[in-house]
Structure 1
Amino acid sequence: MDLDLSTLRSGLLFYIVLVCSLCIHEWAHAYMADKLGDPTPRLLGRVTINPLPHMDLFGTVIFPLVCIFALGGGFLFGWGKPVLVDPRNFRHPRRDDVLVTLAGPLSNLGLALLAAVLGGLLYRTDPRTTELFLLIVGLNVTLAVFNLLPLPPLDGGQVLRHAVRMRDETYLAIARWSFLVLILALWLPPVRWALITLMKLVALPFVLLYQSLAGI
């Protein structure tokens, strides 16, 4: 595909925001685990906002760049390096593991809220910031909603695992094939429409807040 300067700029901006959002997501998992008593993420160098320790060569670099520049952004998928946690170090293993799990998606919603507030306020002095801040809102809402889908090994699947007390063997068996099933499901128009509609509904309050603060 031919890349003009505008397409290259938009693609790079999208990629930078995606990488930062993915890395904040993984940092939040590591930070919460560290605060709840598990030293594993800190020992592995994951309690940092430096993106490099959180980046997966295929999931954070190769695949997203191919999606953005080779596939034209029509299909986008990406992930950071999973944060290793040992629940045995937690005072309340089941509860604390859920808190660590939810920290990732909640960090993305927090970024969306921060972008809506700052972007709305900055719009009054520089409307050109609209693209950046609405991109941050949209991407982070997408990451939060996607990761909360109740499917192993996504964060929502981990919460479901504790909610129904799923056996480790069952969880791993589902996780082994779930990404393939999910990718195939996303090619189905009804599934894709339902997921996009859910993401739009979750993003709506952030967009309305942005517009209210921007006065538009």
Structure 2
Amino acid sequence: MSEVIIVSFIVLIFSIVIHEVSHGSMAYHLGDDTAKRQGRLSLNPLKHIDLMGTILLPLFLVMLNSPAVIGWAKPVPVNFNNLRDRKWGELKVAIAGPLSNLCVALVCALLIRFFTLGEGMTLILSVAVIYNILLALFNLIPVPPLDGSHILFTFLRNYEVKAFLTRFGFFILIFALFFTPFLKILLSATVFLGNFLTAGKLLI
């Protein structure tokens, strides 16, 4: 297993944990303490591992020599009925995850862009930039179980479309990842944004 793959896997775990804790923290801020009561507002990766999304899918993508290794953590439990903001609460909780990843990517990109760092640190930060942008874009896809679906459902009033996406969204997602160029397109957009933020100083 190459150095980049090892760094990528560690960064991926770190990034998806931040992503999920951000969902729970926003829900807690809006009045729902479900995640807190279940111990999910923790940065301990063991509390967030999902067998499929955190272990099997990333390893499978590595074995396939995928251009990107993506995944997800066990979703943080949220009771939307407890949120004080009934109109926009679900959207705020959903968007908190991708926004946290974009914030991490931006901080890492600025460090690369404006500071002279060693090759090892630049590699780690470069991987963090790429994976956090990738996670943000990936999770904004408006298909369940991703965050984008909650954002879409905030505005979508068509029950039949909601029911269809809820029932078949996961299968649509898997098909798009493995049988279409979608992942390569997503990665190209990610690298473009990463190079833009770092002024072309990415090390990967």
Q: TM bucket by the smaller chain?
A: 0.7 to 0.9
Unaligned runs of 5+ in 1: 212-216
Task: From 9, 14, 28, give the equivalent of 1:20.
Answer: 14
1:160-179 alignment, distance < 5 Å: 160-167=152-159, 170-179=161-170
Q: Which residue of 1 aligns with 2:105?
A: 112
Residue 182 in 1 paired to residue 173 in 2?
Answer: yes
Q: Which residue of 1 aligns with 2:37?
A: 43
Task: From 85, 92, 103, give the equivalent of 2:85.
Answer: 92
TM-score when normalising by structure 2:
0.87
Unaligned runs of 5+ in 2: none
Residue 131 in 1 paired to residue 129 in 2?
Answer: no
Cα distance between partner residues in 2 of 1:193 and 1:202: 14
* Closer, same or farther: CA 127–194 of 1 in aligned 2, 3 Å: closer
SS of alignment partner, residue 142 of structure 2:
coil
Residue 205 in 1 paired to residue 196 in 2?
Answer: yes
Structure 1 residue 185, shift from structure 2 partner: 2.5
Cα distance between partner residues in 2 of 1:93 and 1:201: 37
Cα distance between partner residues in 1 of 2:55 and 2:72: 9
> Kindly, what percent of the aligned residue pairs are identical?
36
* Closer, same or farther: CA 125–79 of 1 in aligned 2, 3 Å: closer
Query: How many residue pairs end up in the alignment?
Result: 200
Residue 66 in 1 paired to residue 60 in 2?
Answer: yes
Structure label with greater radius of gyration: 1
Structure 1 residue 201, shift from structure 2 partner: 4.1
TM-score when normalising by structure 1:
0.82
Cα distance between partner residues in 2 of 1:165 and 1:152: 16
Q: Which residue of 2 aligns with 1:214?
A: none
Structure 1 residue 170, shift from structure 2 partner: 4.9
Segments ≥4 residues shifted beyond 6 Å: none
